[in-house]
Amino acid sequence: MEAQVYIIDDDASVRRGLARLVREGGHAVESFATAEDFLATLPAAFTRPTCALVDLQMPGLGGLELQERLKSRPCPCSIVFVSGNGSIPATVRAMRGGAVTFLTKPIHDEDLLGAVAEGLEAHRRLLIDSLQVGEIHCRIASLTDRERETMARVITGMLNKQIAGQLDLAERTVKFHRAKVMEKMGVVSVADLVRICDQAGFAPAK
Amino acid sequence: MSAINVIWSASMGACLVLALMHLLVWCRDLRSFANLFFPLIALGIIAMGACELKLMRTGSPEGYLETVRLGHLLFGIVVPASLLFVHCLFGTGNRWLLVVAIGLRTAAVVANYSTGPSLHFLSIGSLDQISFLGERVSIVGEAIENPWVRLGQVAAIAQIVYVADASLRLWRRGDAVDRHRAFWIGGSMVSLFLLAMVIAGLISAGVMRAPMLVSFPFFGMVVVISYNMSRDLQRSALLARELEASQRRLALAGSAGRLAFWEWGLKKDRIWISTDGWAVFGISPAADLGFEKFMEHVHEDDRARLEQIVRESIAGTGSYVAEFRVGRPGEPVRWLSASGRVEKDNAGEAVLFRGFSIDVTARKEAEADAAQQRRELAHLARAGTLGALSGTLAHELNQPLAAILSNAQVGRRRIGSDPPDLAEIEAILADIVEDTKRAGGIVHGMRAMFAKDTALDLVPIDLNAVITGSLSLLHGEIVARKGTVDFTPGDPLPPVRGSFVELQQVLINLILNGLDACREVAGAGLGMREAPSLRIRVGPLTGGVAIDVADHGPGIAPENRDRLFEPFFSTKSGDGGLGLGLSISRGIVERFGGTLEALPPEPGSGAVFRIFLPAAADESFACEAHPDQTILKTDRS
């Protein structure tokens, strides 16, 4: 998968210089003068590892606001902040908001390329993770209601007898559903089942 | 003892004394022609008196005729002298009448010699003896009258008309002194001329049997004139005393106030300076001071300018005002303020330049001190503003540096590749050059703002460039505050006079104030977190250029409008500042001959500040280039 780097900076020559450098690192680059332009051209979902180099101070939508907007999207791309004079509060906000790092201009090429690489890697992992979660969701979707009810109780560590009691079923039936769940979810142990359910955010029964 | 001898001699002696007195006056003042003609009249009358004496004592008709002829010649001198005397003294006589009267009198003298033994008589048959003042004197007995005597009478009428006319004019035109003169001199001349004419007519017609007594009325005339002229002498003495007092007062004022009075005779190029005045100019007193020599004492930097002012005064309106320095190299320099007037003669040619000069060194030094302090205060304010902007300015400077660093690093990598991509490297270098210029421009702008001594001389300035320069210095600050400034450089403006940096300081101050005002609205929690936005408009306004800086803040409270420009007045809360910004800004603008004011508020808008600067007088001045464009000439080509 080819990586994509976006540069959002209101200063044209900074944009050009950074773009050259990033291209030198072997990544596809696209530059925007404002955060609004960037958001407008962004596809609905990121399909390849993406890292955005964002200037903290821009007319209109600033870097931190852009970060907020991106977070509301699925699998938001990594953000590397660059700034001429970042205040400590702004830096703290940026990092807590999940930025890869915060670089101060002028930026050394290795620092920049390192940060970009880090950001791309982080996003790649995120994408892969999200792909896996998608798969798990598919499997969950293939379960029947009974099977889902059973699974929600299995992952809490309940015994078949207890499940049968709660769902008002025969213990044999529960056993049957449980084997189906293990098969459909593609796991061999309860421990694996607990892990992927957790990964997919499947809530255990209360 | 003969009564006739006593009377005639006494009268003649009196006339002689008066004649000599006025002759002496004339010798002192050769231009006072009245004083020359008066002795002529008096001497002529003395001679006529002598003729009359001789007529009374003569025995033969031949001798009588000869003496009458001589008398007419003398009369021919006295009358023109009298007329010219009136002409000079009154200055109102009709020239043509004068010429006619003198011409007729001259013709009578000619007739006196050409038409017979005398103008009066063709012949005298016999003389009679009558008793006169207790003596036996001769008078004409039988005689034949010369018809040409009418010419003499016409001449007499002409001279009376002339004097009467001149006197009337003087009476109408003049003040009390002139009227007095017209009445006494003119009146006495007219009446005594008439009297003499009547007496001579009666005697020659044989109606009146008396000796020729023509000189007697003229003795009277001399006395009246002399009395009148002596009033002039009295007045002169009075004037002399007043003049002396006035000179003393002037000298006192001169020495007390370091004041020099001077006169420059333009024809002979001689400069007179009052006694205490020499020290004011720093020149040692010299009788032969000319303009060239005087100019040597003027400070060399001021010479050309002063000379031009002087020439213009002489050629133009004649009034002269100048400030210049004196002191040759090595001498202490002093400032003089001079004013004066050129006086012209009747032909309109400048003849005299008169005036005074005051030593104003102390005032100039105080002015310079005050100006220096104002500049230092402005500089401190500027430095303070820049200090407050340092964060955003660093950001502004960082932008090109960041671009340069990235480009340089890419360039280094590209050079290492094989084969090196020369086209790309060229583009990279071009970008580096541009960004270096930009960084240099920012540093230059900052350094100019930090510079303590701005140019003392005001230079023509393009306000579009000032606004652009201010906005570029403030770019980071405006972005950091999420503000927008609406400004598009308009058509070329007439240049104004000022200092680029200080005008920029004023503008930066107004823009920052405007941004602060918008923040106040946002801070007041009116619900709308509106981004601060300013509008700057620039354009020509009668006689100059106006810049309006408008914000969307709460505007200026009416109770604050009057105090806005007072020092240490601030409505900003907290760390808003010292309240010196507007007061210093107004000081700067006023130093450039302009005004800074808050325009009357309009409903729904914030404050509007207007800078007005008068257009530079000489529009042929090219506008000073924007400083950013003049640095770093390292162009790629």
HEC per residue, B109-149: HHHHHHCCCCCCEEEECCEEEEEECCEEEEEECCEEECCCH
B429 touches chain A (CB under 8 A): no
Q: CA-based angle B257:B260:B262, to the nearest 5?
A: 155
A77 touches chain B (CB under 8 A): no
pLDDT (average), residues A38-50: 85
Instruction: Give yes or no for residue B391 having a pLDDT over 50.
Output: yes
A25 touches chain B (CB under 8 A): no
* Tokens encoding B103: 């011409």
Does ipTM exceed 0.95?
no
Name the one residue in this structure whose structure tokens are 């009297």.
Answer: B195
Chain A residues within an 8 Å CB radius of B476? 57, 84
* Min distance A179 CA to chain B CA atoms (Å): 60
Compute the distance between CA of residue B67 and CA of residue B48 in angstroms, rounded to an integer: 10
Q: Is the dihedral of CA B246, B251, B253, B259 positive or negative?
A: positive
* CATH architecture for the domain at A143-200: Orthogonal Bundle (1.10)
pLDDT (average), residues B440-460: 76
Do residues B556 and B543 touch, judged by C-beta distance below 8 A? no
Intra-chain end-to-end CA distance of chain B, in Å: 126
Share of residues in chain B with pLDDT > 90 (%): 10
pLDDT in tens, B137-161: 888 878 888 888 888 889 989 999 9
Q: Amino acid identity, residue A15?
A: R
Domain ranges of chain B: 3-236, 257-359, 372-630
Pairing of strands A50-55, A78-83: parallel
Q: How many CB atoms lie within 10 A of CB B95?
A: 9
Chain B residues within an 8 Å CB radius of A112? 406
Chain A residues within an 8 Å CB radius of B399? 11, 13-14, 84, 105
Are B409 and A105 inside 8 Å of each other by CB? no
CA B564 from chain centre, in angstroms, equals: 41
Question: What is the reported pLDDT for B572?
Answer: 66
pLDDT: is B387 or B410 the higher one? B410
Domain ranges of chain A: 4-131, 143-200
| Domain B257-359 homologous superfamily, CATH | PAS domain (3.30.450.20)
B41: CB partners within 8 A, 6+ apart: B78, B81, B82, B85, B218, B221, B222, B225
B546: CB partners within 8 A, 6+ apart: B538, B539, B540, B610, B611, B612, B613
pLDDT band for position B220 (50/70/90)? confident
* Tokens encoding B135: 């003596």
Do residues B302 and B324 touch, judged by C-beta distance below 8 A? yes
Q: Amino acid identity, residue B38?
A: F
B436 touches chain A (CB under 8 A): no
pLDDT (average), residues A41-48: 81
pLDDT in tens, A133-175: 888 888 888 889 999 899 999 998 889 999 999 989 899 999 9
Compute the distance between CA of residue B296 and CA of residue B329 in angstroms, rounded to an integer: 10
Residue B435: which of A13, A60, A109 has the nearest Cβ? A13
* Tokens encoding B515: 């941004």
pLDDT (average), residues B496-520: 84
A14 touches chain B (CB under 8 A): yes
Question: What is the reported pLDDT for B207?
Answer: 78
Quote the mean pLDDT of chain B. Answer: 82
Chain B residues within an 8 Å CB radius of A85? 391-392, 394-395, 398
Instruction: Give yes or no for residue B7 having a pLDDT over 60.
Output: yes
pLDDT (average), residues B271-299: 84
pLDDT in tens, B62-83: 888 888 889 889 989 888 999 9
pLDDT (average), residues B390-400: 82
pLDDT band for position A80 (50/70/90)? very high
Compute the distance between CA of residue B193 and CA of residue B191 in angstroms, rounded to an integer: 5
pLDDT in tens, B559-589: 777 777 776 676 666 555 556 778 888 888 8
Are B407 and A62 inside 8 Å of each other by CB? no
Instruction: Give yes or no for residue B111 having a pLDDT over 50.
Output: yes
Question: What is the reported pLDDT for B635?
Answer: 35
Are A17 and B396 inside 8 Å of each other by CB? no
pLDDT (average), residues B394-421: 86
- CATH (residue range B372-630): 3.30.565.10
Question: What is the reported pLDDT for B618?
Answer: 55
B484 touches chain A (CB under 8 A): yes
Are B405 and A112 inside 8 Å of each other by CB? no
pLDDT (average), residues B402-415: 90
Q: How many CB atoms lie within 10 A of CB B318?
A: 14
Instruction: Give yes or no for residue A7 having a pLDDT over 90.
Output: yes
A161: CB partners within 8 A, 6+ apart: A171
Within the 386-425 window of chain B, which residues sit less than 8 Å (CB to CB) from chain A?
A: 391-392, 394-407, 409-410, 413-414
Name the one residue in this structure whose structure tokens are 């300015």.
Answer: B393
Share of residues in chain B with pLDDT > 70 (%): 92
Compute the distance between CA of residue B88 and CA of residue B93 in angstroms, rounded to an integer: 9
Chain A residues within an 8 Å CB radius of B428? 20
pLDDT (average), residues B282-293: 83
- CATH (residue range B3-236): 1.20.1070
Question: What is the reported pLDDT for B633?
Answer: 34
Please identify, in words, the CATH class of the domain defined by A4-131.
alpha beta
Are B406 and A107 inside 8 Å of each other by CB? yes
Question: What is the reported pLDDT for B575?
Answer: 53
* Secondary structure element (H or E) that encloses residue B536, with its range: strand B533-541
Within the 36-75 window of chain A, which residues sit less than 8 Å (CB to CB) from chain B?
A: 57-60, 62
* Min distance A84 CA to chain B CA atoms (Å): 5
Chain A residues within an 8 Å CB radius of B414? 24
